[in-house]
Chain A
Amino acid sequence: MMRFLILFSLLLTFVVPVHAGIEVHKFTTPEQEARFKKLTEELRCLVCQNQNLADSTAPLAKQLREDAYEMIRNGKSDKEVIDFMVQRYGDFVLYSPPLKPTTYVLWIGPFVLLLLAVIILQLIIRRSRNKTVTIDNNEFEKARKLLAGEDEK
């Protein structure tokens, strides 16, 4: 039992460095913390482009998190934090890009495509409805026999 306890306490020493790696951000109000979380989730890390600032472990993301943290603590608004990032890294840092002439295609494009698809679908349906089927007498006779079950014999 004693040996187990010693082993266990030795194992505990391995735990410490893991905790040291976690960033601690202290906020004065829970509202600030919520804003920090939301902002870092909405901003893209440019080094690892498919991650947001909140998840990324890249040094740049860490530094930008610190900047966002400082700004929020100093009472800056969400817009000021976002402007700080966009001014330096462009619209690309935003996961949801703003609506402006260069992004019209991005925002409206899918709806235009959907509309086109609906129009084409309707055209196809209408055309197939209007199709009149012409059957000559021979075929008609054949079909009649099939239905009566006379064909097999």
Chain B
Amino acid sequence: MNRYVIPIAIFAVLVVLLGVGLTINPRNVPSPFIGKPAPHFDLISMDFPDQRMTPQKLLGRPWVLNVFASWCPTCGDEVPQVSELSRHVLIIGLNKEDEEAKAKAWLQQHGNPYAMILPDKDGKVSIDWGVYAVPETFIIDKKGIVRYKYLGAIPDQELRNKILPLIQELMAEPA
């Protein structure tokens, strides 16, 4: 009896480790930007062509950068969540490697939750932000520090349990 205890215990540990390994999402790569200043950009707004936007201009208020594109099917799925979020915080839409006409048609169809849309035509800003899939969502605090990142369409649960409480927390922080 006793001689079977150890092998069974080892086997159980292996099963648990394998189970954990299989349920981890390999795409959930921790962002190296969390806790670091938001990467720089200087882009001309799509909706207000006389305005340029930089992260410096947004200092003093929490904001969200949501990367989207009309060619990305998942982006349409998260529009309800992004719209809900837009009622609590300013959201900048980074339009990754898209055509203006297509992006505008897409926004007409799905609704526009963004306070401002910045076209990232050649994808350089996306690379500076470490974006490797669309959609991606970053939350930046009043001091311009990236505090959170979500990869993929935001699920309702994530929005209620993590994102909205974090926005509230950031609103309360001193500038």
Contact = CB atoms under 8 A, between A and B. Distances in A.
The reply to whether chain A is a binding partner of chain B is yes
Interface of A: 46-47, 49, 60, 63-64, 67, 86-92
A88 B29 contact: no
B81 interface: no
Main secondary structure of the interface of B (DSSP, over half): loop
A7 to B, nearest CB: 39
Interface centre among A49, A67, A88, A91 (most CB of B within 10 A): A88
Given A46-B132, A47-B132, A47-B133, A88 B127 contact: yes
Given A60-B132, A88-B128, A89-B130, A46 B29 contact: yes
Contacts of B27: 49
Interface size bracket, B side: 10 to 19
A92 B29 contact: yes
Contacts of A64: 127
Contact of B127 (A47, A67, A90, A92): A67
A47 B26 CA distance: 11
Nearest to A64: B127
Interface in B8-46: 26-27, 29-32, 39
B128 A90 contact: no
Interface of B: 26-27, 29-32, 39, 123, 127-130, 132-133
A92 B132 CA distance: 12
B26 A49 contact: yes
A76 to B, nearest CB: 16
Contacts of A47: 132-133
A132 to B, nearest CB: 20
A26 B5 CA distance: 63
B32 A63 contact: no
A23 B64 CA distance: 36
The 6 closest A-B pairs by CB, nearest first: A88-B130, A90-B32, A46-B132, A92-B29, A89-B130, A60-B132
B84 to A, nearest CB: 28
Contacts of B26: 49
Contacts of A88: 32, 39, 127-130
18 contacts: A46-B29, A46-B132, A47-B132, A47-B133, A63-B127, A67-B127, A87-B32, A88-B32, A88-B39, A88-B127, A88-B130, A89-B29, A89-B32, A89-B132, A90-B29, A90-B31, A90-B130, A92-B29
Contacts of A90: 29-32, 130
